[in-house]
Amino acid sequence: MPAQTQLVHLRDYSLEELETFFIELGEKPFRARQVFQWMWDKKATEFSQMTNISKTLSARLEEIATLNRTRIVYTSRSSATETRKLLVQMMDGKTVETVLIPEESRVTVCLSSQVGCALDCDFCATGKMGLLRNLTAGEIADQLRHAMAISPRPITNIVFMGMGEPFHNYREVLKAAHIINGELGFGIGARKITISTSGLVPQIKRFADENQRFKLAVSLNATLDQQRDMLMPINRKWNIRELVDACRYYVEKTTNMMTFEYVLLNGINDTPADARRLLRIAQQVLCKVNVIPYNDIKGRYQRPPDQTIEAFLKELSTGKFPVTVRWSRGDDIDAACGQLATTTDELDLTLYTPNLTKHE
């Protein structure tokens, strides 16, 4: 018997790639805009739902392509904050976690970009998994489609801060961001989409050179190379000076403000002297600083006492840049910053049914 032709995953295509696909089928390029809008803006799951394409084309697409990319196999909801964590399964059985975070003035979705992560940051649960594979653009954007389906309010903000290092999967992450931003996609403004990196210097400069309008956040987490070498092995490749130089290049090239993220770890990087060094670093760049009191992953680190956090923030308050504090939301369901991880190989996913909700 002849080998079965592998179906084309249309959700992985940018609008331009979809136009090429339809031209090669002998169709007019405008078909790409129709199908793209149905996939994302109208959230179609079957070609038969696309009422402005012919039945003949719909049948042909059924034979050669698919809209199936991911499914929700489990959701958890925080009783304290209404944060929800989605376990999203790919077609190959791999899973990632996506977090829906309702707040008073906004609703944020935290997207994953890889199954696991190669960077092995010492305080992050995802890094303990290692890197299993990159996600495709469709697998990334599909997480938002699922989050929209269960969100009680419209989504306002997107952060690429879930599982994985987004700039290790640069092409697919940027393609997904443009799907999310596009008028035929989800139509979320570029300045409401933030891409975070642990400090991949060449990609930061590429992001600047391409004049990407999405916001940039950089996980700094230390003010001395000795500290950062221990916490974030990527620092041994590009140290703090090189990272800050790249950030300065970014803001000068784009005129955009960036964000430094700083996870506070008890007895590691939380002293007034650390705060003063962070202040000096931040004053070199057009930025704001987002301080994140550590969220426990049952490792060797702890969150600093409240008085230590307050003293750290007091030192930072003398700077001429905005300072925010990201208090944990969803840590009771391991959905807070640094806590995302999956153990697909240990899960019997037949025990779960789509959209089953576990209330913790």
The per-residue pLDDT for 348 is 40
Query: Model confidence over 131-184: pLDDT tens digits?
Result: 999 999 999 999 999 999 999 899 999 999 999 999 999 999 999 999 999 999
- 84 beta partners: 77, 100
Query: Model confidence over 285-294: pLDDT tens digits?
Result: 999 999 999 8
Of the candidates 199, 308, 322, 320, which has an alpha carbon nearest to the alpha carbon of residue 264? 308
Catalytic residues: 97, 337
The per-residue pLDDT for 295 is 79
For residue 289, give the H/E element and its range: strand 287-293
84-90 vs 70-77, strand pairing mode: antiparallel
What does pTM read for this prediction? 0.89
Other beta carbons less than 10 A from residue 355's beta carbon: 14
- Could you tell me how far CA 337 lies from the centroid of its own chain? 11
Amino acid (1-letter code) at residue 332: D
* Residue ranges, the chain, pLDDT below 50: 1-4, 330-360
Using CA atoms, how far apart are residues 31 and 57, in angstroms rounded to an integer?
10
Give the residue extent of every domain in the chain. Answer: 8-66, 70-351
The per-residue pLDDT for 298 is 64
The per-residue pLDDT for 124 is 83
Architecture of domain 70-351: Alpha-Beta Barrel (3.20)
* Fold classification of 8-66 (topology level): DNA polymerase; domain 1 (1.10.150)
Tokens 């719909």 appear where? Answer: 58
Q: 93 with 80: CB under 8 angstroms?
A: no
Q: 161 with 126: CB under 8 angstroms?
A: no
The per-residue pLDDT for 78 is 80
The per-residue pLDDT for 335 is 40
